[in-house]
């Protein structure tokens, strides 16, 4: 019996992994997809035409980058919808607007007009049938120090040379954001409690917790539909 069957995870589930840059979302996405035999949806970092330019000059490129990510996520969302679920998604669409676009607008590196245009487009896209809420959002959290170390180890130059104050601001915003997030069920996981790199089996207790949250959320959805 595989882990998906053992823990009764519905094979049409949509599970999204959220958390700040470098916390371990891609690593978790890969490990969960392998363990559950699910498909993956990754965000577009390699061959992203705006990302490096953005880190060089936030003001000039923040709007372009948000539009690019939104278009990419919309294509991914459509794919997930057309397959009928069974996906682990690296980063939720909620973070684009709730963290990144908002932060750049509030810090003055995105204009009010650009922010409003982006928000209007985002709202229009989210209202389409391609955006079912995920069954579960797994939120990865950890200390700023551990996350900064991971950013350094991963070694993307554009991130390594970005001032620590940027990551600090983002870390705080993530904490505030998750504390008021209510668009779908959440499972919070502390990165100090597992190590998927050294111990592949540490995925199993995470799947067990996921199972509990997904069963609860499905029961709640069924009740609402009566």
Contact residues toward ligand ADP (CB under 6 A) are 19, 21-27, 150, 153-154, 195-197
Binding marks (x or -) toward ligand LDVFA3IR, 13..52, rule CB under 6 A?
--------xx--xx----------------x-x-----x-
What span, in angstroms and rounded, lies between the C-alpha atoms of 48 and 16?
21
Q: Closer to ligand ADP by CB, 26 or 117: give it.
A: 26
Task: Specify which residues 136 forms β-bridges with.
Answer: 15
CB-based contacts of 10: which residues, under 8 Å, 6+ apart? 85, 135, 214, 218
Q: Which of 9, 65, 80, 140 binds ligand LDVFA3IR (CB under 6 A)?
A: 65
Neighbours of 12 (CB within 10 A): 11
What span, in angstroms and rounded, lies between the C-alpha atoms of 100 and 106?
10
Two tokens at 99? 């963290």
- H-type alpha helices, 107-163: 112-126, 144-154, 157-160
Min dist CB 81 to ligand ADP, Å, is: 23
Q: Is 43 labelled as part of a ligand binding site?
A: yes
45 binds, among ligand LDVFA3IR, ligand ADP, none (CB under 5 to 8 A by kind): ligand LDVFA3IR
Active site residue 195: no
Q: List contacts with ligand LDVFA3IR (CB under 6 A).
A: 21-22, 25-26, 43, 45, 51, 65-66, 69, 91, 96, 100, 159
Residues involved in catalysis: 90
């Amino acid at each position: 019996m595989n882990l998906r069957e053992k823990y009764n995870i519905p094979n049409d589930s949509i599970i999204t992994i959220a958390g700040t840059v470098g916390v371990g979302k891609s690593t978790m996405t890969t490990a969960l997809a392998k363990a559950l035999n699910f498909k993956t949806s990754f965000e577009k970092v390699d061959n992203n035409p705006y990302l490096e330019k953005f880190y060089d000059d936030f003001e000039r490129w923040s709007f372009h980058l948000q539009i690019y990510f939104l278009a990419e996520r919309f294509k991914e969302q459509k794919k997930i919808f057309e397959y009928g679920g069974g996906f682990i998604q690296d980063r939720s669409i909620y973070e684009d607007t709730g963290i990144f676009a908002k932060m750049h607008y509030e810090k003055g590196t995105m204009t009010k007009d650009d922010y409003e245009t982006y928000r209007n487009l985002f709202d229009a896209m989210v209202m389409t049938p391609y955006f079912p809420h995920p069954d579960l959002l797994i939120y990865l959290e950890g200390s700023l120090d551990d996350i900064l170390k991971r950013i350094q180890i991963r070694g993307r130059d554009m991130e390594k040379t970005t001032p620590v104050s940027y990551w600090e601001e983002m870390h705080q915003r993530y904490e505030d954001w998750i504390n008021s997030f209510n668009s779908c069920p959440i499972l919070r996981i502390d990165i100090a409690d597992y190590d998927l790199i050294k111990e592949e089996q540490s995925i199993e207790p995470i799947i067990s917790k996921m199972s509990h949250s997904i069963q609860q959320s499905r029961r709640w959805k069924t009740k609402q539909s009566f």
